[in-house]
Amino acid sequence: MIMKKDFISIADYSPEALQGILDLAIELKKERLEKGENKPLLKGKVLGMIFQKPSLRTRVSFDMAMRQLGGDALYLSPNEIGLGQRESVADVARVLAGYVDVIMARVFAHQHVLDLAKWASIPVINALSDYDHPCQGMGDALTIIEKFGSLKGLNVTFVGDGNNVAVSLLHICSKLGANFTLASPEGYDLSSKALEEGKTFAAKSGSSIRTIRDPHEAVKNADVIYTDTWTSMGQEEETEKRKKVFPPYQVNAKLVSEAKPETIVMHCLPAHRGQEITDEVADGPHSVLFPQAHNRMHAQKAIIVSLFR
């Protein structure tokens, strides 16, 4: 029997497999842009999309990825399933596996996406958990490759909270040979698990991992400056506390001017303009925010197709 595949974390994949998915994403994007359509590689396949949290990009980009490849997608809102509350995760996984061909889940607890993968006989994709956001990491890698050709040897700096988006960026950078720096306030570091994973992968790819407090030091020589919200979904009660801690980590024109002249600025969106990023930077010449958002769809097409190969 062939083992089904899942896409739970970039950490689970070899650099070669990740590069293969990114090469396919480039190919599918080119096909779509040049011919106006893709071959129906997912004809007859349906993606079940479980959301425990809100979304614009993830919901629309997965739905359109499926449609453009000849398949379909079914949106299941937070109220409908009650994952782990109305019904156990194991039961949801086994029921859905009889209706759809692949499951995508945006969850609070990372364990829930792991449990879905354990109990479903079909592929499961992590569409953001409290631990990581691997589909974001793949779209981000595609965006960086489009600008610089590859990740190898680049200096990628994440400024802000050592959150789920930072973890997937750390994973993809360390797997594919980019040097990763996190500048975060004390108490908002990467988890020790993510840091250990990153160090292991970086040792193999020949890149480096650095975690520091000073955002100015962190962006020196940066090819990529990345930021995300100061308060992630599920942490809303900490909003006011975080608004007091994070202002020195705002990505503004002064900070960007301290990086390489050709540096690009990235943000997974949604952006809180005037907090982690200024309008001037988000809409300025270094920003790749919107192509980055669009690349989620191209990367996810390749992720889904690769799960059936």
Site string for ligand CP, 51-90 (x = CB under 6 A): ----xxxx--------------------------------
- The site map against ligand NVA for 233-272 (x = CB under 6 A) is x----------------------------------x----
Beta strands in the chain (DSSP E): 46-51, 72-76, 102-106, 124-126, 155-159, 179-183, 209-212, 224-227, 264-267
Q: What CA dihedral angle connects 50, 100, 27 and 127, to 10 degrees?
A: 20
Q: What secondary structure letter does DSSP report for 4?
A: P
Q: What phi-psi label fits residue 208: left (phi over 0), alpha (psi between -120 and 50 degrees) or beta?
A: beta
Question: Which residues from 203-232 bind ligand NVA, rule CB under 6 A?
Answer: 228-229, 232
The site string for ligand CP over 222-261 (x = CB under 6 A, - otherwise) reads: ----------------------------------------
173 annotated as ligand-binding: no
Which segment (71-79, 148-156, 157-165, 253-261) binds ligand NVA by CB under 6 A?
Answer: 157-165
How far is C-alpha 136 from the geometric centre of its chain's CA atoms? 2
The active-site residue out of 106, 112, 242, 267 is: 106
**DSSP state letters, 269-285:** S---BTTTB-HHHHTST
Nearer to ligand NVA, 8 or 122 (CB): 8
> CB 218 → ligand CP: shortest distance, Å?
22
Q: Is 133 helix (H, G, I), strand (E, B) or coil?
A: coil
5 vs 267, beta carbon nearer ligand NVA? 267
Q: How far is the CB of 15 from ligand CP (least distance, A)?
A: 24
Query: Does 235 participate in catalysis according to the annotation?
Result: no
Binding mask 164-193 for ligand NVA (x = CB under 6 A): xx----------------------------
- Strand-pairing partners, residue 179, are 155
Residue 300 near ligand NVA by CB under 6 A: no
Q: Is 72 a catalytic residue?
A: no
CA gap 88, 52 in Å, rounded = 14
Q: Which does 56 bind (CB under 5 to 8 A by kind): ligand CP, ligand NVA, none?
A: ligand CP
CA distances (Å), 231 to each of 184, 194, 234, 275, 295, in order?
A: 13, 19, 8, 11, 24
Cα–Cα distance between 194 and 173 in angstroms, integer? Answer: 12
With beta carbons less than 8 A apart as the criterion, state whether 227 and 218 touch: no
Name the active-site residue from 57, 112, 171, 296: 296
**Tokens 């809100």, residue?**
54
Q: Is 296 a catalytic site residue? A: yes
267 a catalytic residue: no
214 vs 182: CA distance, rounded Å: 9
* Residue ranges that bind ligand CP, judged by CB under 6 A: 55-58, 128, 136, 268-270
* Residue ranges that bind ligand NVA, judged by CB under 6 A: 128, 163-165, 228-229, 232-233, 268
Give the active site residues. 106, 133, 136, 228, 268, 296
